[in-house]
Amino acid sequence: MSNNNPRVYLVGAGPGDPDLLTLKAHRLMNQADVIVYDRLVSQAIIDLIPHGTQRIYVGKAPGKHHMGQDEINQLLVKLANTSRKIVRLKGGDPYIFGRGSEEAQFLVQHGIDFEYVPGITAASACSAYAGIPLTHRGIARSVRFITGHCRADQPLELNWNSLADKQTTLVFYMGIASLPQLRTELIKAGLDASTPAAAVENGTTSVQRRCISTLDKIGEAIEAMSIQSPALIIIGDVVSFADELNWFTPQSETSNEIVPQAVKN
């Protein structure tokens, strides 16, 4: 497939379950000549790429260098100038903690047209697949998406007082490493230590695991289950729905769900 003006399709792949791809994302994947994709695009979605399509992996695994953001930006411009149809496929929604807007800016600055296809972001999908509604009348009137990622050896600088609101659901992306700090700061800012808290690992996939606990104990609970990235942390009273609204059973022999003894009431 070819086009006259160089154009890159910046496409959100959602959190993992291929059924959560938008029709537009799926159509573009089928039409692309080249797909440049990240680590967070699930294998089940990669498996949907037609055989003849060129695939370029540019994922960054924690602690391992693969391709830096500058190199990825340059690669997209170079590929676009070959007049082929380029899909840049990123996990979740590329505009939510995904550096999608930086890639879009770079394309614009280099005279390349782009089209944006939003994806379902992890906060929305992983919470739902873990039985947790992000808002609920009378319980949570707002929701905050927060990055828990901070530069190496730097403390996480957030407005803790504004986050410590009983009726706000907090969703931390990339929050596992900074969990001890965020727990301490939120409790110090006035959030009740017994506020329900959850972690969802590999949300929406066949190996999803969830860990349900409380703010003061979530760190130990996560450790007991060896929860690893990618994982989302959800804090707020809405987490108390997790058992009642738990509809999703991951279809994998290796997946499981454990409530560690330490956090059982």
Catalytic residues: 38, 60
Burial degree of 89 (CB within 10 A; 0-12, 13-18, 19+): buried
Q: To the nearest whole angstrom, how small is the minimum distance from the Cβ of residue 15 to ligand SAM?
A: 4
Order across the sheet with 86-90: list the strands.
54-57, 34-37, 86-90, 7-12, 113-117
Q: Evaluate whether 220 touches 197 at the Cβ level (below 8 Å).
A: no
Q: Which two tokens stand for residue 203?
A: 């949300």
Tell me the number of residues near ligand SAM by CB under 6 A. Answer: 23
Ranges of H-type helices in 81-121: 100-109
Q: Name the residue among 35, 37, 45 with its Cα closest to residue 14.
A: 45
121 binds ligand SAM (CB under 6 A): yes
Which of 204, 211, 212, 219 binds ligand SAM (CB under 6 A)? It is: 204
The identity of residue 43, as a single letter, is Q
Using the rule CB under 6 A, give the single segment among 162-170, 213-221, 225-233, 252-260 that binds ligand SAM.
Answer: 225-233
Apex 185 CA angle, 180 and 189, nearest 5: 155
Which of 118, 230, 236, 250 binds ligand SAM (CB under 6 A)? It is: 230
202 binds ligand SAM (CB under 6 A): yes
174 binds ligand SAM (CB under 6 A): yes
DSSP three-state, residue 72: helix
Q: What is the DSSP letter of 110?
A: T
Which of 28, 197, 200, 234 binds ligand SAM (CB under 6 A)? It is: 200
Q: To the nearest whole angstrom, how small is the minimum distance from the Cβ of residue 3 to ligand SAM?
A: 26
Q: Which residue is nearest to ligand SAM (CB)?
A: 92
Which of 122, 130, 163, 197 binds ligand SAM (CB under 6 A)? It is: 122
156 binds ligand SAM (CB under 6 A): no
**Which residues from 68-107 bind ligand SAM, rule CB under 6 A?**
91-94, 96-98
Using the rule CB under 6 A, give the single segment among 78-86, 105-113, 226-234, 249-257 that binds ligand SAM.
Answer: 226-234
